[in-house]
């Protein structure tokens, strides 16, 4: 906590510097952190740190991709979960480390790549019962049938 307080003080010092005030137009927000109204000094900064700490929304790596022999990896280079059949992970959690850029576009890229990988493993014409029979479902109550067991996902 001491380090957090010192870090906030450093940020305040930079923000309050003459250069930042004159050249950038920086000014301190007048808002008081709710719940910390009665506190001052380091106690206020501690309250602020405990109240306002937020994630930066770029979490990755909980199912990281990599060498299957590495015990810290979850999916292989084809996004398949190691040791499991028919299960892929397609989202930001396969990124092994936090990327330099924002994660959203990279997540879309992972999904695009995944669709290419999956399409390359499925023959839509021979493995889709409706297309192969040249018959598409017409009922509004149509339920998708389970995939046949020989479809590799
Ligand atoms: C407030 C905010 C701002 C952001 N701003 C940006 C930005 O400006 N630029 C940028 O690039 N990135 C930004 N991001 C990050 C970006 O949105 C994420 O990196 C990206 O959405 C991650 O995609 P994902 O598919 O891994 O996860 P998510 O988009 O979170 O999708 C996960 C999905 O899995 C579902 N799910 C979870 N658990 C289960 C379960 N057990 N069973 C079934 N489904 C489940 C969830 O409902 C969700 O639909 C921001 C994120 C937030 C929260």
- Of the chain, the end-to-end C-alpha distance in Å amounts to 47
> 2-44: per-residue pLDDT in tens?
999 999 999 999 999 999 999 999 988 888 999 999 999 999 9
Alpha-carbon span 106 to 93, nearest angstrom: 11
> Does the pLDDT at position 153 exceed 50?
no
**Mean pLDDT on 111-122:** 89
Ligand 1: lining residues by beta carbon, under 6 Å? 57-58, 91-93, 102-105, 107
Q: Ligand 1, atom 51: nearest CA belongs to which residue?
A: 57
Instruction: Please tell me the distance between residue 65's alpha carbon and the centre of ligand 1 in angstroms.
Output: 18
Alpha-carbon span 32 to 30, nearest angstrom: 6
> 35-76: per-residue pLDDT in tens?
999 999 999 999 999 998 777 778 899 999 999 999 999 999
Residue 29: per-residue pLDDT: 81
């Amino acid at each position: 906590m001491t380090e957090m307080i010192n870090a906030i003080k450093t940020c305040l010092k930079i923000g309050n510097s003459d250069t930042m005030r004159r050249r950038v137009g920086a000014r301190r927000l007048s808002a008081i952190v709710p719940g910390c109204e009665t506190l001052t000094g380091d106690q206020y900064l501690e309250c602020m740190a405990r109240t306002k700490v937020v994630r930066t929304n770029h979490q990755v790596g909980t199912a990281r991709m990599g060498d299957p022999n590495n015990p810290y990896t979850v999916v292989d280079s084809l996004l398949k979960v190691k040791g499991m059949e028919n299960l892929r992970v397609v989202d930001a959690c396969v990124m092994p480390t936090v990327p330099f850029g924002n994660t959203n576009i990279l997540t879309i890229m992972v999904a695009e790549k995944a669709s290419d990988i999956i399409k390359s493993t499925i023959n839509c014409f021979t493995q889709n019962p409706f297309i192969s029979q040249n018959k598409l479902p017409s009922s509004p109550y149509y339920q998708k049938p389970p995939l046949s067991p020989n479809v590799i996902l």
